[in-house]
A and B are shown apart, each in its own frame.
Chain A
Amino acid sequence: MALLLLWQGLYFIRIWPEFMFPSPFMVFNTLVNGFGQGNYTMAMLNSFRRLLIGFGIAITLGVFIGVLMGRFKSIDETFGGLILSLQSVPSVVWLPLALLWFSMGESAMIFVVVIGGLWNMIMSTTAGIKGVDPLLIQSGINLGYTGFSLFRKVILPAAVPHIITGVRMAWAFCWRALMAAEIIGTGQGLGQVLMWGRDMGNMSTVLAVMFIIAGTGIISDGIVFKKIEKEVYRRWGLLETAF
């Protein structure tokens, strides 16, 4: 609230011209109009479609590779360092390559989203699998489980808290990757609306979209993922130590 007042105050002083620094009301109006005409809704749906596809691929692939790395030391030793270094490369850097490989379009965008969440998902899963309490594995073996059934019934469920934390972080990373990719790339997503606002010199559109991006991030993380994560940690009896 205080921030809104400060914003309105700055607007009244007119340090910057109106088109560069719109008032909260103008941004609010833009938001209402945007949703009213369906532009923003369409843009959000477009972005969400890319996000969900990319995120889905990232976590599936991430869990799969992470499990392999967690179970087989040789794979971990071969690729562990590589993945750690790839993790430090911002995923939007991949966009030029992706545009070349997949030609301009959806797949390039989705590829960047996958890359955004993948490395982290792999590392969380690997850590989860490696960190399973040996006592649980011993109990599982003693109770008649071996090989794949031991993995499916004991090791994987025991790693779930780590994997969920990975999923939550992957979501945030995918979301950022998507926005960066959309700003640079083509199509009809939130990022493109934002760039369009910039090109038109319409700062209230830019700010409105920024609000949508931030709001979506906060809502999806705070309401959906944090809750799931907390529930998992509670169920697994880790709540006291983790929160």
Chain B
Amino acid sequence: MLELNKVTKYYKNEKVLDEITMTIKEGEFVSLLGPSGCGKSTLVHIISGLNQASDGEVSMDGRKITRPSTDRIMVFQSNGLFPWLTVEQNVAFGKKDNGNKISKDEVKKLLKMIRLTSYRHKYPHQLSGGMKQRVSIARSLAMDPQLLLMDEPFSALDEQTKNELHDELQKIWMETGKTIIFVTHNIREAVKLSDRVLVMGNDPGRIICDVRISEPHPRSHADQNLVALESSILRLLEKEIRKQKEGEELHGTLDEKKSIFNGSITSLARTLFYKNMA
């Protein structure tokens, strides 16, 4: 079980995350959904231990998280594969906490799972974007982590590849039962994959809504319930974005009012001045 208690993060003096509190149960597929700049990626980095919270705490099964661990593996948007290693070597790269290497059988099984057995001797630069991301997922699963953290893993891929990988990820999740935290700005993706969507708002980043989705897996895009859910989340987010814009406009008008006010003072003063002169 992963627990976040009032996690707050500042960059310089700007607050990017504001008292995030949440609990994620084992085996859950949770999406962090929000517009760009809402701090969702920062949040997942803090959970991984690659970044630290300015305030508040993160703990897993009661133990406080302060640094990266092989319990929690990140899958990055630009995959982070080692270009000098083959697909097979990349998958086998990880080193478990007890110092053990990943077994050959394990690697074989994972390559089969991501359907890249015939590509095992290829190098990353010889693979398509979707394949690279599959290798990256396999490399993470090879560590047998408790928690799989995915930071916009599919956002650089084309629509068709993305759909394929959605189906594949659902399958992997159902087979392995891993806890997954999935960062995305794509509502459809979040709704299709997750048990729970945590919708985040901007400025400062915070969770504005916790949506639970009980539709059975595997799901398809055509599911009417999901489409309806998608549009209601979209409305929620639009409201958030509009609010932010209105905030900016409000500031704008205030400034204008102030300058008009200043202007009238000067003209008043000028009038008085001229009156005295006369």
One digit per residue, 1 when the CB lies within 8 angstroms of any chain A CB and 0 when it does not, for chain B 77-89 equals: 0101111100000
A5 within 8 A of B: no
Please determine whether B97 and A135 come into contact, CB atoms closer than 8 angstroms. Answer: no
A 119-147 contacts with B by CB, 8 A: 135-136, 138-139, 141-145
A236 within 8 A of B: yes
Q: Taking the nearest CB of chain A, how far is it from the CB of B96, in angstroms?
A: 6
B40 within 8 A of A: no
A118 within 8 A of B: no
B125 surroundings in chain A (CB, below 8 A):
234-237, 239
Please determine whether A157 and B123 come into contact, CB atoms closer than 8 angstroms. Answer: no
Q: Taking the nearest CB of chain B, how far is it from the CB of A29, in angstroms?
A: 50
One digit per residue, 1 when the CB lies within 8 angstroms of any chain B CB and 0 when it does not, for chain A 192-203 equals: 000000000000
A 142-193 contacts with B by CB, 8 A: 142-145, 149, 153-154, 157-158, 160
B 194-244 contacts with A by CB, 8 A: none
Q: Taking the nearest CB of chain B, how far is it from the CB of A151, in angstroms?
A: 14
Tell me the complex Cα distance, A142–B143, Å. Answer: 10
| Minimum CB distance partner of A150 in chain B | B95
| Minimum CB distance partner of A153 in chain B | B93
Tell me the complex Cα distance, A237–B83, Å. Answer: 6
Binds A, one of B68-76, B173-181, B251-259: B68-76
B74 surroundings in chain A (CB, below 8 A):
138-139, 142
Tell me the complex Cα distance, A239–B126, Å. Answer: 12
| Minimum CB distance partner of A137 in chain B | B80
B31 within 8 A of A: no
Given contacts A142-B48, A143-B95, contact A157 B70 (CB under 8 A): no
A160 surroundings in chain B (CB, below 8 A):
84
B124 within 8 A of A: yes
Please determine whether B143 and A143 come into contact, CB atoms closer than 8 angstroms. Answer: yes
A143 surroundings in chain B (CB, below 8 A):
70, 73, 93-95, 139, 143
Please determine whether B82 and A154 come into contact, CB atoms closer than 8 angstroms. Answer: yes
> Which of A136, A143, A239 has the most CB atoms of chain B within a 10 A radius of its CB?
A143
Given contacts A144-B94, A144-B96, A235-B84, contact A135 B78 (CB under 8 A): yes
Which residue of B50, B82, B95, B139 contacts A157 across the interface (Cβ within 8 Å)? Answer: B82
Please determine whether B80 and A145 come into contact, CB atoms closer than 8 angstroms. Answer: no
Tell me the complex Cα distance, A158–B81, Å. Answer: 11
Tell me the complex Cα distance, A239–B123, Å. Answer: 13
One digit per residue, 1 when the CB lies within 8 angstroms of any chain A CB and 0 when it does not, for chain B 121-140 equals: 00111000000000000010
> Which of A139, A158, A239 has the most CB atoms of chain B within a 10 A radius of its CB?
A139
B 124-164 contacts with A by CB, 8 A: 124-125, 139, 143
Please determine whether B94 and A135 come into contact, CB atoms closer than 8 angstroms. Answer: no
| Minimum CB distance partner of A144 in chain B | B95
B50 surroundings in chain A (CB, below 8 A):
138, 141-142
A 202-243 contacts with B by CB, 8 A: 234-239
Tell me the complex Cα distance, A55–B50, Å. Answer: 41
Please determine whether B83 and A235 come into contact, CB atoms closer than 8 angstroms. Answer: yes
Which residue of A139, A149, A238 contacts B76 across the interface (Cβ within 8 Å)? Answer: A139
Tell me the complex Cα distance, A238–B84, Å. Answer: 11
A135 surroundings in chain B (CB, below 8 A):
76, 78, 80
Tell me the complex Cα distance, A138–B81, Å. Answer: 11
A154 surroundings in chain B (CB, below 8 A):
82
Tell me the complex Cα distance, A139–B84, Å. Answer: 14
Which residue of B68, B73, B80, B139 contacts A136 across the interface (Cβ within 8 Å)? Answer: B80
Please determine whether B70 and A142 come into contact, CB atoms closer than 8 angstroms. Answer: yes
Tell me the complex Cα distance, A98–B95, Å. Answer: 49
A236 surroundings in chain B (CB, below 8 A):
83-84, 125
* B binding-site residues for A, Cβ under 8 Å: 48, 50, 68, 70, 72-74, 76, 78, 80-84, 93-97, 123-125, 139, 143
A-B contact pairs, 25 of them (CB 8 A): A138-B50, A139-B74, A139-B81, A139-B82, A141-B50, A141-B68, A142-B50, A142-B70, A142-B73, A143-B95, A144-B94, A144-B97, A144-B143, A145-B95, A153-B93, A154-B82, A157-B82, A235-B83, A235-B123, A235-B125, A236-B83, A237-B123, A237-B125, A238-B83, A239-B125
Given contacts A139-B81, A143-B73, A160-B84, list 15 more A-B pairs with CB under 8 A: A136-B80, A136-B82, A138-B50, A138-B74, A138-B80, A139-B82, A141-B50, A141-B68, A142-B50, A153-B93, A235-B83, A235-B125, A236-B84, A237-B83, A237-B124
